[in-house]
Protein backbone atom coordinates (compact mmCIF):
# COMPACT_ATOMS: atom_id res chain seq x y z
CA UNK A 1 0.00 0.00 0.00
CA UNK A 2 1.35 3.41 -0.89
CA UNK A 3 0.95 6.11 1.72
CA UNK A 4 -1.52 8.86 0.81
CA UNK A 5 0.08 11.85 -0.91
CA UNK A 6 -1.87 14.38 1.15
CA UNK A 7 0.01 14.03 4.42
CA UNK A 8 2.57 16.61 5.60
CA UNK A 9 5.38 14.00 5.65
CA UNK A 10 4.71 12.45 2.23
CA UNK A 11 4.16 15.86 0.60
CA UNK A 12 7.47 17.09 2.02
CA UNK A 13 9.24 13.92 0.81
CA UNK A 14 7.91 14.39 -2.75
CA UNK A 15 8.78 18.09 -2.88
CA UNK A 16 12.30 17.41 -1.56
CA UNK A 17 12.87 14.47 -3.92
CA UNK A 18 12.13 16.66 -6.94
CA UNK A 19 13.50 19.93 -5.52
CA UNK A 20 10.14 21.50 -6.30
CA UNK A 21 9.59 25.18 -5.50
CA UNK A 22 6.17 26.81 -5.50
CA UNK A 23 5.32 29.38 -8.14
CA UNK A 24 3.26 32.21 -6.71
CA UNK A 25 2.15 33.18 -10.22
CA UNK A 26 0.40 29.79 -10.59
CA UNK A 27 -1.37 30.03 -7.23
CA UNK A 28 0.05 26.72 -6.05
CA UNK A 29 -1.16 25.60 -2.61
CA UNK A 30 -1.11 21.85 -1.95
CA UNK A 31 -3.55 20.19 0.45
CA UNK A 32 -2.06 18.13 3.26
CA UNK A 33 -5.23 16.73 4.84
CA UNK A 34 -6.60 13.44 3.53
CA UNK A 35 -9.95 13.77 5.35
CA UNK A 36 -10.78 16.96 3.49
CA UNK A 37 -9.99 15.25 0.18
CA UNK A 38 -12.27 12.34 1.11
CA UNK A 39 -15.04 14.85 1.87
CA UNK A 40 -14.58 16.59 -1.48
CA UNK A 41 -14.85 13.27 -3.33
CA UNK A 42 -17.94 12.41 -1.22
CA UNK A 43 -19.61 15.74 -2.05
CA UNK A 44 -18.98 15.03 -5.75
CA UNK A 45 -20.68 11.62 -5.31
CA UNK A 46 -17.96 9.85 -7.27
CA UNK A 47 -18.39 6.10 -7.79
CA UNK A 48 -17.12 3.39 -10.15
CA UNK A 49 -19.37 4.72 -12.95
CA UNK A 50 -18.16 8.32 -12.63
CA UNK A 51 -15.59 10.10 -14.76
CA UNK A 52 -13.75 13.05 -13.22
CA UNK A 53 -12.00 16.07 -14.69
CA UNK A 54 -9.47 17.73 -12.44
CA UNK A 55 -7.82 21.11 -12.98
CA UNK A 56 -4.43 21.78 -11.43
CA UNK A 57 -3.63 18.39 -9.86
CA UNK A 58 -0.39 19.63 -8.27
CA UNK A 59 1.45 16.56 -6.98
CA UNK A 60 -1.66 14.37 -7.27
CA UNK A 61 -3.21 14.51 -3.78
CA UNK A 62 -6.82 14.88 -4.93
CA UNK A 63 -6.18 12.97 -8.17
CA UNK A 64 -5.21 9.91 -6.13
CA UNK A 65 -8.44 10.00 -4.08
CA UNK A 66 -10.50 10.41 -7.27
CA UNK A 67 -8.63 7.55 -8.98
CA UNK A 68 -9.46 5.21 -6.10
CA UNK A 69 -13.18 5.68 -6.69
CA UNK A 70 -13.80 6.88 -10.24
CA UNK A 71 -13.86 4.94 -13.48
CA UNK A 72 -11.43 7.42 -15.07
CA UNK A 73 -9.74 10.71 -14.17
CA UNK A 74 -8.41 13.30 -16.62
CA UNK A 75 -6.33 16.10 -15.09
CA UNK A 76 -5.22 19.35 -16.76
CA UNK A 77 -1.84 20.60 -15.49
CA UNK A 78 -0.25 23.80 -16.76
CA UNK A 79 3.10 23.51 -14.92
CA UNK A 80 5.52 21.35 -16.85
CA UNK A 81 7.69 20.81 -13.74
CA UNK A 82 4.88 18.78 -12.18
CA UNK A 83 4.55 16.24 -15.01
CA UNK A 84 7.38 13.90 -13.90
CA UNK A 85 6.17 14.16 -10.28
CA UNK A 86 2.64 13.19 -11.29
CA UNK A 87 3.95 10.33 -13.38
CA UNK A 88 5.67 9.04 -10.26
CA UNK A 89 2.98 9.68 -7.62
CA UNK A 90 0.12 8.42 -9.78
CA UNK A 91 1.95 5.38 -11.16
CA UNK A 92 -0.20 2.96 -9.08
CA UNK A 93 -3.34 4.16 -10.91
CA UNK A 94 -3.95 3.06 -14.49
CA UNK A 95 -7.19 5.06 -14.78
CA UNK A 96 -5.56 8.51 -14.73
CA UNK A 97 -4.49 10.67 -17.65
CA UNK A 98 -2.62 13.95 -17.19
CA UNK A 99 -2.90 16.51 -19.98
CA UNK A 100 -0.24 19.23 -20.08
CA UNK A 101 -2.45 22.15 -21.08
CA UNK A 102 -3.96 25.36 -19.80
CA UNK A 103 -7.62 24.47 -19.28
CA UNK A 104 -8.64 27.99 -20.33
CA UNK A 105 -7.18 27.34 -23.78
CA UNK A 106 -8.20 23.69 -24.03
CA UNK A 107 -11.07 22.30 -26.04
CA UNK A 108 -12.65 20.58 -23.04
CA UNK A 109 -15.64 19.27 -24.99
CA UNK A 110 -13.29 17.46 -27.37
CA UNK A 111 -11.28 16.01 -24.47
CA UNK A 112 -14.51 14.74 -22.86
CA UNK A 113 -15.49 13.10 -26.14
CA UNK A 114 -12.08 11.47 -26.66
CA UNK A 115 -11.45 10.36 -23.09
CA UNK A 116 -14.92 9.51 -21.78
CA UNK A 117 -16.85 8.64 -24.95
CA UNK A 118 -20.52 8.19 -24.14
CA UNK A 119 -20.14 8.17 -20.34
CA UNK A 120 -22.93 10.19 -18.77
CA UNK A 121 -21.70 10.73 -15.21
CA UNK A 122 -18.97 13.37 -15.57
CA UNK A 123 -17.91 15.68 -12.74
CA UNK A 124 -15.33 18.43 -12.48
CA UNK A 125 -13.57 18.09 -9.12
CA UNK A 126 -10.66 20.36 -8.30
CA UNK A 127 -8.73 22.51 -5.88
CA UNK A 128 -8.63 25.52 -8.18
CA UNK A 129 -5.81 28.08 -8.33
CA UNK A 130 -7.41 31.15 -6.75
CA UNK A 131 -6.27 33.66 -9.33
CA UNK A 132 -8.22 32.00 -12.18
CA UNK A 133 -11.19 30.45 -10.37
CA UNK A 134 -13.89 32.60 -11.94
CA UNK A 135 -12.66 32.45 -15.58
CA UNK A 136 -12.30 28.65 -15.33
CA UNK A 137 -15.76 28.11 -13.86
CA UNK A 138 -17.43 30.52 -16.29
CA UNK A 139 -15.75 28.76 -19.23
CA UNK A 140 -17.06 25.38 -18.03
CA UNK A 141 -20.58 26.76 -17.55
CA UNK A 142 -20.83 28.93 -20.67
CA UNK A 143 -19.64 26.11 -22.92
CA UNK A 144 -22.53 24.01 -21.58
CA UNK A 145 -20.37 20.93 -21.26
CA UNK A 146 -22.09 17.59 -20.58
CA UNK A 147 -21.31 17.65 -16.85
CA UNK A 148 -23.39 16.39 -13.94
CA UNK A 149 -21.84 19.13 -11.88
CA UNK A 150 -18.77 20.76 -10.42
CA UNK A 151 -17.28 20.46 -6.92
CA UNK A 152 -14.34 22.77 -6.36
CA UNK A 153 -12.32 24.30 -3.60
CA UNK A 154 -11.81 28.03 -3.96
CA UNK A 155 -11.39 31.19 -1.93
CA UNK A 156 -14.19 31.34 0.66
CA UNK A 157 -15.13 34.89 -0.30
CA UNK A 158 -15.63 33.86 -3.96
CA UNK A 159 -17.66 30.78 -2.95
CA UNK A 160 -19.87 33.03 -0.78
CA UNK A 161 -20.47 35.33 -3.76
CA UNK A 162 -21.34 32.43 -6.07
CA UNK A 163 -23.88 30.94 -3.65
CA UNK A 164 -25.35 34.25 -2.39
CA UNK A 165 -29.04 35.15 -2.63
CA UNK A 166 -30.66 38.59 -3.12
CA UNK A 167 -30.40 41.28 -0.43
CA UNK A 168 -27.00 40.15 0.84
CA UNK A 169 -23.76 42.04 0.43
CA UNK A 170 -22.20 39.06 -1.39
CA UNK A 171 -24.93 38.93 -4.05
CA UNK A 172 -23.92 40.32 -7.43
CA UNK A 173 -23.48 39.58 -11.12
CA UNK A 174 -21.24 36.57 -10.33
CA UNK A 175 -23.99 35.01 -8.15
CA UNK A 176 -26.47 35.36 -11.01
CA UNK A 177 -24.05 34.12 -13.69
CA UNK A 178 -23.34 30.94 -11.70
CA UNK A 179 -26.92 30.35 -10.55
CA UNK A 180 -28.27 30.87 -14.07
CA UNK A 181 -26.60 27.60 -15.08
CA UNK A 182 -26.43 25.71 -11.77
CA UNK A 183 -27.74 25.32 -8.25
CA UNK A 184 -24.91 26.56 -6.04
CA UNK A 185 -24.24 25.49 -2.48
CA UNK A 186 -21.22 26.00 -0.22
CA UNK A 187 -20.78 22.59 1.39
CA UNK A 188 -17.65 23.04 3.50
CA UNK A 189 -15.24 25.65 4.85
CA UNK A 190 -11.55 24.79 4.81
CA UNK A 191 -8.99 26.51 7.07
CA UNK A 192 -5.78 27.86 5.53
CA UNK A 193 -3.71 25.69 7.90
CA UNK A 194 -4.23 22.53 5.81
CA UNK A 195 -2.21 23.79 2.83
CA UNK A 196 1.46 24.18 1.98
CA UNK A 197 2.32 26.93 1.55
CA UNK A 198 -0.48 28.47 3.62
CA UNK A 199 -2.63 30.89 1.61
CA UNK A 200 -3.66 34.21 3.19
CA UNK A 201 -7.35 33.37 3.19
CA UNK A 202 -9.69 30.57 4.16
CA UNK A 203 -11.14 28.36 1.47
CA UNK A 204 -14.50 26.75 0.87
CA UNK A 205 -15.82 23.87 -1.20
CA UNK A 206 -18.74 24.74 -3.44
CA UNK A 207 -21.01 22.30 -5.24
CA UNK A 208 -22.57 23.43 -8.50
CA UNK A 209 -25.30 21.11 -9.76
CA UNK A 210 -26.13 21.66 -13.41
CA UNK A 211 -29.71 22.71 -14.12
CA UNK A 212 -31.52 20.88 -16.93
CA UNK A 213 -32.43 24.33 -18.27
CA UNK A 214 -31.32 27.82 -17.17
CA UNK A 215 -32.90 29.29 -14.03
CA UNK A 216 -34.81 31.80 -16.13
CA UNK A 217 -35.82 31.77 -19.79
CA UNK A 218 -34.82 34.97 -21.59
CA UNK A 219 -35.12 36.25 -25.16
CA UNK A 220 -31.43 37.11 -25.50
CA UNK A 221 -28.92 35.56 -23.13
CA UNK A 222 -25.98 37.90 -23.75
CA UNK A 223 -28.26 40.93 -23.33
CA UNK A 224 -29.58 39.44 -20.06
CA UNK A 225 -26.02 39.25 -18.69
CA UNK A 226 -25.31 42.79 -19.90
CA UNK A 227 -28.37 44.06 -18.00
CA UNK A 228 -27.27 42.17 -14.87
CA UNK A 229 -23.72 43.61 -15.00
CA UNK A 230 -25.12 47.09 -15.68
CA UNK A 231 -27.44 46.85 -12.67
CA UNK A 232 -24.53 46.22 -10.32
CA UNK A 233 -22.28 48.92 -11.80
CA UNK A 234 -22.24 50.89 -8.55
CA UNK A 235 -23.85 49.06 -5.69
CA UNK A 236 -25.19 52.09 -3.83
CA UNK A 237 -27.02 53.44 -6.86
CA UNK A 238 -30.61 52.63 -7.76
CA UNK A 239 -31.32 50.27 -10.61
CA UNK A 240 -32.53 53.21 -12.71
CA UNK A 241 -29.30 55.17 -12.14
CA UNK A 242 -27.09 52.19 -12.91
CA UNK A 243 -28.99 51.31 -16.09
CA UNK A 244 -29.06 54.97 -17.23
CA UNK A 245 -25.32 55.17 -16.74
CA UNK A 246 -24.43 51.84 -18.38
CA UNK A 247 -27.05 51.42 -21.12
CA UNK A 248 -27.40 55.07 -22.19
CA UNK A 249 -26.07 54.29 -25.69
CA UNK A 250 -28.93 51.84 -26.23
CA UNK A 251 -31.86 53.18 -24.26
CA UNK A 252 -33.17 56.56 -23.09
CA UNK A 253 -34.28 57.20 -19.51
CA UNK A 254 -37.92 57.21 -20.66
CA UNK A 255 -37.47 53.79 -22.27
CA UNK A 256 -35.81 52.46 -19.10
CA UNK A 257 -38.72 53.69 -16.98
CA UNK A 258 -41.21 52.05 -19.34
CA UNK A 259 -39.30 48.75 -19.21
CA UNK A 260 -39.06 48.84 -15.39
CA UNK A 261 -42.79 49.49 -15.20
CA UNK A 262 -43.54 46.63 -17.60
CA UNK A 263 -41.40 44.32 -15.45
CA UNK A 264 -43.11 45.60 -12.27
CA UNK A 265 -39.82 46.76 -10.75
CA UNK A 266 -39.67 50.05 -8.85
CA UNK A 267 -36.93 52.29 -10.34
CA UNK A 268 -35.59 53.18 -6.89
CA UNK A 269 -34.73 49.57 -6.02
CA UNK A 270 -31.12 48.48 -6.03
CA UNK A 271 -29.63 45.71 -8.15
CA UNK A 272 -28.95 43.46 -5.16
CA UNK A 273 -32.66 43.35 -4.27
CA UNK A 274 -33.69 41.74 -7.58
CA UNK A 275 -34.05 37.98 -7.91
CA UNK A 276 -32.77 36.17 -10.98
CA UNK A 277 -36.40 35.87 -12.20
CA UNK A 278 -36.89 39.63 -11.90
CA UNK A 279 -33.69 40.22 -13.85
CA UNK A 280 -35.12 37.91 -16.53
CA UNK A 281 -38.35 39.94 -16.74
CA UNK A 282 -36.42 43.20 -16.79
CA UNK A 283 -34.01 42.11 -19.50
CA UNK A 284 -36.87 40.88 -21.70
CA UNK A 285 -38.84 44.10 -21.36
CA UNK A 286 -35.70 46.18 -22.09
CA UNK A 287 -34.97 43.95 -25.08
CA UNK A 288 -38.47 44.44 -26.51
CA UNK A 289 -38.25 48.22 -26.16
CA UNK A 290 -34.79 48.26 -27.72
CA UNK A 291 -35.68 46.09 -30.75
What is the distance of C-alpha 218 from the center of its chain? 23
Of the pLDDT bands very low, low, confident and very high (cuts 50, 70, 90), residue 137 is very high
Mean pLDDT score across all residues of the chain: 94
Tell me whether residue 29 is annotated as binding.
yes
Whether the ω angle into residue 27 lies within 30 degrees of 0, i.e. cis, is no
Tell me whether residue 56 is annotated as binding.
yes
Residue 67 CA neighbour count, 13 Å, CB half: 21
Ordered domains of the chain (ranges, CATH): 8-210 (3.40.50.150), 221-290 (1.10.8.100)
* Selection from 182, 250, 246 nearest residue 214 by Cα: 182
CA atoms of 290 and 45, how far apart (whole Å)? 45
Q: Give the per-residue pLDDT at 217.
A: 97
Task: Summarize the confidence of residues 34-49 as an average pLDDT.
Answer: 97
Task: Summarize the confidence of residues 73-90 as an average pLDDT.
Answer: 96
Of the pLDDT bands very low, low, confident and very high (cuts 50, 70, 90), residue 29 is confident
Of the pLDDT bands very low, low, confident and very high (cuts 50, 70, 90), residue 255 is very high
* Selection from 230, 219, 218 nearest residue 256 by Cα: 230
Tell me whether residue 246 is annotated as binding.
no
Q: Give the per-residue pLDDT at 1.
A: 54
* Selection from 75, 13, 6, 26 nearest residue 199 by Cα: 26
Task: Summarize the confidence of residues 151-169 as an average pLDDT.
Answer: 96
Q: Give the per-residue pLDDT at 222.
A: 94
Tell me whether residue 102 is annotated as binding.
yes
Tell me whether residue 142 is annotated as binding.
no
Task: Summarize the confidence of residues 16-28 as an average pLDDT.
Answer: 82
Q: Give the per-residue pLDDT at 235.
A: 81
Of the pLDDT bands very low, low, confident and very high (cuts 50, 70, 90), residue 290 is confident
Tell me whether residue 127 is annotated as binding.
yes
Task: Summarize the confidence of residues 207-214 as an average pLDDT.
Answer: 96
> What are the tens digits of pLDDT across the range 259-268?
999 999 999 9
CA atoms of 204 and 211, how far apart (whole Å)? 22
What pairing do the DSSP bridges indicate for beta strands 203-210 and 182-190?
antiparallel
Q: Give the per-residue pLDDT at 43.
A: 98
Q: Give the per-residue pLDDT at 28.
A: 77
* Selection from 50, 55, 56 nearest residue 28 by Cα: 56
Amino acid sequence: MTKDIATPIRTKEILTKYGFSFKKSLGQNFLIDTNILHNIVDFAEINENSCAIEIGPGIGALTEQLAKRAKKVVAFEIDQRLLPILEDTLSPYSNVKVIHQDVLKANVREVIQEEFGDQEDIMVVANLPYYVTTPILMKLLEERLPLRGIVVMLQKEVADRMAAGPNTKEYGSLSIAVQYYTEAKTVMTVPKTVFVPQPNVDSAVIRLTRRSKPAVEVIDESFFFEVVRSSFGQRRKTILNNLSHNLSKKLSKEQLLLALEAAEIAPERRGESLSILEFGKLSDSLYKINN
